């Protein structure tokens, strides 16, 4: 005390020291976790791929964090955004999901919004989609035998789990890809192998995709997509916390609470199966405008290429394959007009481009490029703009 009494300025060392200690411990723990190379027997890329494909996942629960930094230009009214609990908002910002999995018959995904939540719950033949903001529940009775389906069919509405995202990337694997390993790392406090996939085609905007595969369970725990010329992932989905213990059955029970609007879908599957894409379902009121028009972002969702999934394209096709696949669709004229349509207003802000293929407007982001031609076609792909222009001139993409 006597030192402090004679030198009062020394007292300031206490709050400073506390601040430095707290943040230092936090940062040091992160750095230590990142740098500590867990000791796992080395495995080749091929072995890892087989491990992943043969991994038998009995049960899992945990928290998944998804981040997207696609470098999109500012969109009026924002599409998606952090903290939104709308299932269609996953394309931008950071999102947290909770996952419970106890076999393909019992699956639950919860997308956590700031003061809201959307759930997809499968329990036996029942499939529920719940949205707390709208107080709406969608119910679908799955036909018997659906249990033998791949679980990603049920949860395939979104690329939500690392398992599913990895499956989609592995499906795209063919001679177009350089596969290598990048040693070991730690994800969600578990030792993982890292598998690196890099496209050979120079027109792809993706520089590499890194998969973190659990060292003992062989389940993908994290997927990162890096764009060309970027050192941080443009898209990332990974477990923050994971447990392979079987989650309790109570997590899969769902009964619509009183006052809920319940949509019943027929078991034949003729009814629409997508999540409700309705403006105003997000907790933030200004968060609404969704791309109900032609602007579907198919970068991480190859299944969107199916015309019935997007529901808007009378004609559509896919040009190219694997990494440089370009999705081409005809856009309804009303989706492009600017009157009262936030999407139309947004389109008018996009730069015009023209060439031997015609003219149109272009949207560039880190991971994908979209071209809306003046003759009403939308081209989207994880490729450079030049490649899109080539495709636009390609007769295969003429949609006539």
Partner 1 sequence: MSVADSLPATGLPIGVPAALAPRRFGTRFFRSELWLIFGRRRNWAGGLVLASVPIILAIAVKVSEPQPGDGPDFISQITGNGLFVALAALVLELPLFLPLAVGAIAGDAVAGEANLGTLRYLLAVPVHRTRLLLVKFGAITVFAFTAVALVAVVGSVIGLVLFGGGPLTTLSGSQLPFAEGLWRLLLVCLYMTACLAALGAIGMFVSTLTEQPIGATIAIVMLAIVSQILDSIPQLSAIHEYLPTHYWLAFGDLLRDPIATGQIGNGLGLAWTYTVVFLAAAWARFASRDVSS
* Footprint on this chain of partner 1 (rule: CB under 8 A): 4, 8-9, 11-12, 14-15, 18-19, 22-23, 63, 81-82, 93-94, 96, 98, 110, 112-117, 119, 130, 132-137, 240-241, 251, 253-261, 280-281, 283, 285
Phi and psi for 307 in degrees, rounded to 5? -60, -35
Residue with tokens 């398992």: 163
Q: How far is the CB of 363 from partner 1 (least distance, A)?
A: 18
Compare residues 226 and 252 and give the one whose CB is closer to partner 1.
Answer: 252
Secondary element (H or E) of residue 182: strand 177-187
Q: How far is the CB of 114 from partner 1 (least distance, A)?
A: 5
| Residue in 130, 134, 132 with CA at minimum distance from that of residue 114 | 132
Compare residues 231 and 339 and give the one whose CB is closer to partner 1.
Answer: 231
**What residues contact 258, with CB distance under 8 A and at least 6 apart?**
none
Q: How far is the CB of 88 from partner 1 (least distance, A)?
A: 14
Q: How far is the CB of 101 from partner 1 (least distance, A)?
A: 15
| Residue in 76, 83, 161, 72 with CA at minimum distance from that of residue 122 | 161
Structure tokens at 279: 């403006």
Task: Tally Cβ neighbours within 10 Å of residue 80.
Answer: 22
**What residues contact 389, with CB distance under 8 A and at least 6 apart?**
353, 355, 357, 371
Q: How far is the CB of 13 from partner 1 (least distance, A)?
A: 8
Compare residues 29 and 46 and give the one whose CB is closer to partner 1.
Answer: 29
What whole-number distance in Å separates Cα of residue 400 and Cα of residue 388? 18
Compare residues 113 and 151 and give the one whose CB is closer to partner 1.
Answer: 113
Q: How far is the CB of 136 from partner 1 (least distance, A)?
A: 7
Compare residues 99 and 335 and give the one whose CB is closer to partner 1.
Answer: 99
Q: How would you class 127 by CB atoms within 10 Å of its CB: exposed for 0-12, middle for 13-18, buried for 19 or more?
A: buried
Compare residues 114 and 349 and give the one whose CB is closer to partner 1.
Answer: 114
**Beta strand spans in 124-168 (E):** 126-131, 136-141
Task: Calculate ∠ Cα 380-382-387, nearest 5°.
Answer: 75
What whole-number distance in Å separates Cα of residue 219 and Cα of residue 163? 7
Compare residues 254 and 357 and give the one whose CB is closer to partner 1.
Answer: 254
Q: How far is the CB of 160 from partner 1 (least distance, A)?
A: 16
**What residues contact 364, with CB distance under 8 A and at least 6 apart?**
71, 385
């Amino acid at each position: 005390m006597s030192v402090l009494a004679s030198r009062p300025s020394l007292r300031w060392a206490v709050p400073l020291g506390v601040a430095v200690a707290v943040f230092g411990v936090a940062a040091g723990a992160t750095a230590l976790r990142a740098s500590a190379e867990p000791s796992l027997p080395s495995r080749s890329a091929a072995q890892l791929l087989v491990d992943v494909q043969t991994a038998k996942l009995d049960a899992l629960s945990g928290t998944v964090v998804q981040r997207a930094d696609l470098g999109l230009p500012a969109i009026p009214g924002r599409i998606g955004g952090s903290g939104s609990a709308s299932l269609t908002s996953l394309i931008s910002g950071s999102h947290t999901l909770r996952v419970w999995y106890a076999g393909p018959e019992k699956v639950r995904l919860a997308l956590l919004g700031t003061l809201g939540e959307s759930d997809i719950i499968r329990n036996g033949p029942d499939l529920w989609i719940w949205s707390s903001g709208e107080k709406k529940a969608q119910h679908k009775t799955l036909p018997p035998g659906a249990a033998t389906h791949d679980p990603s069919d049920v949860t395939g509405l979104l690329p939500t789990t690392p398992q599913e995202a990895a499956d989609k990337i592995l499906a795209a694997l063919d001679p177009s890809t350089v596969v290598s390993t990048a040693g070991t790392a730690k994800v969600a406090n578990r030792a993982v192998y890292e598998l690196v996939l890099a496209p050979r085609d120079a027109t792809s905007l993706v520089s590499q995709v890194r998969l973190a595969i659990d060292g003992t369970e062989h389940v993908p725990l994290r997927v990162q997509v890096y764009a060309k010329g970027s050192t941080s992932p443009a898209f990332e989905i990974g477990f923050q916390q994971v447990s392979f213990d079987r989650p309790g059955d109570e997590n899969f029970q769902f009964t619509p609470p009183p006052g809920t609007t319940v949509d019943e879908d027929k078991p034949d599957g003729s009814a629409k199966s997508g999540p409700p894409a309705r403006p105003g379902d997000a907790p933030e009121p200004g968060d609404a405008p969704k791309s109900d028009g032609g602007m579907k972002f198919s970068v991480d969702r190859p299944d969107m290429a199916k015309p019935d999934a997007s529901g808007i394209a009378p004609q559509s096709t896919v040009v190219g394959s694997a990494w440089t696949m370009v999705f081409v669709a005809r856009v309804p004229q009303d989706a492009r007009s600017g009157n009262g349509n936030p999407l139309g207003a947004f389109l008018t802000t996009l730069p015009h481009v023209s060439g031997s293929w015609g003219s149109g407007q272009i949207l560039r982001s880190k991971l994908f490029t979209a071209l809306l031609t003046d003759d009403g076609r939308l081209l989207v792909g994880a490729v450079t703009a030049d490649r899109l222009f080539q495709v636009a001139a390609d007769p295969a993409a003429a949609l006539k």
